[in-house]
Amino acid sequence: MIKRSLGKTGINVSEIALGGVEIGIPYGIGVNSKDDMLPFHDAIELLQKALDLGINFFDTARMYGESERIMGEAFHDRRDKVVIATKCRHFLDKGGNLPPSQELKTIIESSLHQSLNVLKTDYVDVFMLHQANTAILNHEEIANTFENLKKEGKVRATGASTYSFEESVLAIEKGIWDVIQLPFNLLDQRQKVLFPKACEKGVGLVIRSVLLKGLLSDRGKNLHPALADVEQHIARYDSLLKDETYPLSTLAIKYVLSFPEITTALVGIDSFSYLYQSVDAANGQYLDKNTMEQAEKLAYPDPSFIDLPYWNKMNWLK
């Protein structure tokens, strides 16, 4: 597994990062309850196997149920071999408002300490804002608290997980956040124009939604009627696979890793078969110029519709 530099952090991470949401909470197409998830000890075995296969970067969050605890059990005796990113719990109240500054500081610090406890470690490699909107990114106390945790050695690098183009631009331009986690994939290619600026500023780019919760894989069939146009569009990627022996999910991963500014592709992995498939995809042989140009032309014509949080809200991914 090839390693890439995580921006200017001095941390080198595998081209595949294992996303920990699927092992912590029911998530993804066809996953409706704990009965559809890996059992606890199998999830530990999956993580350890991923490390054996060369994946050293593991992403989790306070909000991912049992994910942090499973990672703590999997890696507490091999902590020096893994890079762990976790995210602070959410700040906003039900009205979408931020609490007072001192309360924010307490939330951030207590969230990190809870994460450290279940991860069975005294530091995290990357501590991130979860779903950082513009109000959060512009808040001075939030930025100062994250920076102080880094100075204290509890955090090696700070980061922000963004959704919209505007949020990603702001996070990069702030010059505070070492790592930005943003959505980018074959269907929604809007944020690629930001990659050169992030590279210039030494910001590590972690790409999520690579497989769009499984839509860009063998699970992307027989979707909810509201996603019929998306499903039909996904079928058009067969034209990029006509001379290949690998599946759509491999194409989706190779597409992301073909951008040199990107550090790593964050892939949700909840089975050994998906683990092996993801590792095989990151073999250093990525898409040529002609295929990249074809892929660009096959971006979804209305990328604003590619909105996983909204699809979840509408129960279109069940």
| pLDDT above 80 for 256 | yes
Read off the pLDDT of residues 53-97 as tens digits, 9 standing for 90 and up: 999 999 999 999 999 999 999 999 999 999 999 999 998 888 888
- pLDDT at position 114 is 98
- pLDDT at position 97 is 87
- pLDDT at position 293 is 97
Read off the pLDDT of residues 124-145 as tens digits, 9 standing for 90 and up: 999 999 989 999 999 999 999 9
Q: CB–CB of 277/16 below 8 Å?
A: no
Instruction: Tell me phi and psi for residue 28, to 5 degrees.
Output: 105, 170
- pLDDT at position 244 is 84
- pLDDT at position 106 is 95
| pLDDT above 80 for 278 | yes
- pLDDT at position 154 is 97
| pLDDT above 80 for 28 | no
Q: Which residues of 275-304 are buried (b: 16+ CB within 10 A; e: fewer)?
A: bebbbebbeeebbeeebeeebeebbbeeee
All domains of the chain in start order, with CATH: 3-313 (3.20.20.100)
Rounded CA separation 197/47 (Å): 33
* For residues 263-281, average pLDDT: 95
- pLDDT at position 31 is 77
pLDDT bin (cut points 50, 70, 90) of residue 177 is very high
- pLDDT at position 88 is 97
Q: Name the residue among 159, 94, 163 with its Cα closest to residue 125.
A: 159
pLDDT bin (cut points 50, 70, 90) of residue 25 is confident
Percent of all residues in the chain with a pLDDT value above 90, rounded to a whole number = 82
- pLDDT at position 308 is 85
Secondary structure, 3-state, the chain: CCEEECCCCCCEEECEEEECHHHHCCCCCCCCCHHHCCCHHHHHHHHHHHHHCCCCEEECCCCCCCHHHHHHHHHCCCHHHCEEEEECCCCCCCCCCCCCHHHHHHHHHHHHHHHHHHHCCCCEEEEEECCCCHHHHCCHHHHHHHHHHHHCCCEEEEEEECCCHHHHHHHHHHCCCCEEEEECCCCCCHHHHHHHHHHHCCCEEEEECCCHHHCCCCCCCCCCHHHHHHHHHHHHHHHHCCCCCCCHHHHHHHHHHCCCCCCEEEEECCCHHHHHHHHHHCCCCCCCHHHHHHHHHCCCCCHHHCCHHHHHHCCCCC
Measured from the Cβ of residue 241, the count of other Cβ atoms closer than 10 Å reads: 13
Interaxial angle between packed helices 272-281 and 248-257, expressed in degrees from 0 to 180 and rounded to the nearest 10: 50
- pLDDT at position 303 is 94
R_g over Cα of the chain: 19
pLDDT bin (cut points 50, 70, 90) of residue 4 is very high
| pLDDT above 90 for 317 | no
Read off the pLDDT of residues 5-22 as tens digits, 9 standing for 90 and up: 999 999 999 999 999 999
Q: CB–CB of 223/231 below 8 Å?
A: yes
Read off the pLDDT of residues 148-170 as tens digits, 9 standing for 90 and up: 999 999 999 999 999 999 999 99
- pLDDT at position 306 is 93
Read off the pLDDT of residues 31-49 as tens digits, 9 standing for 90 and up: 778 888 899 999 999 999 9
